[in-house]
């Protein structure tokens, strides 16, 4: 199923996607007055935090009563991969536009394959690095009440993995469009080049995602609690009304 999602995502990249990406980049550049490296950095940060939010949300599905960890793993992972890969594909096209490159659909698919190609060794490195990011973020934001209110580390690892992967894809895409495919290099090298150098920046991005997610999580829990209380009260009123209409026995 996951392979099907990846294949379908890469095959459905077309002129419309490239045009939409160019439009988004033009709007951001005009509104924020960003160009060149600053524009690319903004695009990467934006997509990294969006994919981080997707990772946090799908990881949190396991916390929903009745949903179950198996369903959360299967449905959550498929949703995460599908949405995240789509956002990362958009990022590659946006960086191409930011660097003044106009791609045909076949060129775009080739760029996506080179930039997003991931192997099992790289996945293990990402998992290790995302756990490290989650732990450092937990230390940095330990005093935040919103952070304390959620099961932090497990959710942050999923969010951190998406942030890290999206950041690396953005950097690989930028190298691809500035220099060429030969500048992209191996995924393992890309990960090692990032960790230890940009960790503080990525920790900050992950912290932003978790704070935003914390607000949604706490608000949702409060609404769920309120709804549960209201439902219980209504049920109690119905029971009371039924008891009130029931003739009282002599011995009551």
DSSP symbol at 251: T
What are the E-state strand segments in 96-165?
none
Quick one: average pLDDT of 186-199?
A: 70
Secondary structure letter of residue 64 according to DSSP: S
More confident of the two residues 189 and 107: 107
Give me the pLDDT at residue 239, please. 44
Handedness of CA 19, 21, 24, 27 (dihedral sign): negative
Angle between helices 69-98 and 36-60 (to 10 degrees): 170
Looking at residue 250, its pLDDT comes to 46
Q: What are phi and psi of 249, to 5 degrees?
A: -75, 160
Q: What is the mean pLDDT of residues 214-223?
A: 59
Q: pLDDT at position 223, please?
A: 46
pLDDT class for 23, splitting at 50, 70, 90? Answer: very high
From the list 80, 86, 82, 85, the residue with the least C-alpha distance to 59 is: 80
Taking CA 57 as the corner, what is the angle to CA 79 and CA 193, rounded to the nearest 5 degrees?
85
Binned at pLDDT 50, 70 and 90, residue 74 comes out as very low
Rounded mean pLDDT of 245-251? 47
Six-digit token string for 169:
């894809």
How much is the average pLDDT of 224-242? 45
Q: Locate 93 and state its tokens.
A: 């096209």
Sign of CA dihedral 16, 21, 22, 24: positive
Q: Domain spans of the chain?
A: 2-216
Q: How confident is the model at residue 242 (pLDDT cuts 50, 70, 90)?
A: very low
Q: Rounded to whole angstroms, how far apart are CA atoms 73 and 80?
A: 10
**Is the predicted pLDDT of residue 193 greater than 50, yes or no?**
yes
Alpha-carbon dihedral 200, 206, 208, 212, rounded to 10 degrees: -170
Q: Report whether pLDDT(229) > 80.
A: no
Residue 204 has pLDDT above 80, yes or no: yes
pLDDT at 235 over 50: no
Q: Give the pLDDT band (50/70/90) at residue 226.
A: very low
The residues near 137 (Cβ < 8 Å, ≥ 6 apart) are 156, 160, 203, 206, 207, 210
Average of per-residue pLDDT values in the chain: 74
pLDDT score of 89 more than 80: yes
At 39 the pLDDT is 97
End-to-end CA distance of the chain: 63
Asked whether residue 68 carries a pLDDT value surpassing 80, the answer given is no
DSSP 63: G
The predicted model scores a pTM of 0.74
């Amino acid at each position: 199923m996951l392979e099907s999602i990846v294949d379908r995502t890469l095959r459905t990249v077309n002129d419309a996607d490239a045009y939409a990406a160019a439009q988004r980049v033009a709007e951001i550049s005009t509104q924020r007055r960003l160009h060149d490296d600053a524009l690319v950095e903004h695009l990467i940060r934006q997509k990294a935090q969006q994919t981080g939010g997707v990772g946090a949300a799908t990881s949190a599905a396991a916390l929903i009563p009745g949903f179950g960890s198996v369903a959360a793993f299967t449905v959550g992972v498929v949703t995460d991969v599908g949405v995240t890969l789509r956002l990362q594909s958009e990022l590659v096209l946006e960086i191409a536009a930011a660097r003044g490159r106009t791609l045909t659909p076949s060129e775009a698919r080739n760029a996506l394959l080179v930039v997003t190609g991931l192997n099992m060794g790289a996945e293990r490195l990402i998992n290790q690095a995302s756990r490290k990011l989650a732990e450092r973020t937990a230390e940095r934001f330990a005093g935040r009440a919103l952070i304390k209110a959620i099961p932090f580390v497990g959710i942050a690892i999923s969010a951190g993995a998406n942030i890290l992967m999206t950041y690396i894809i953005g950097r690989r895409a930028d190298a691809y469009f500035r220099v060429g495919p030969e500048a992209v290099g191996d995924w393992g090298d890309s990960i090692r080049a990032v960790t230890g150098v940009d960790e503080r920046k990525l920790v900050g991005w992950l912290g932003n995602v978790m704070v935003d997610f914390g607000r949604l999580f706490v608000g949702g829990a409060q609404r769920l609690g309120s709804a549960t209380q209201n439902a219980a009260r209504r049920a109690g009123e119905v029971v009371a009304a039924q008891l009130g209409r029931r003739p009282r026995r002599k011995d009551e």
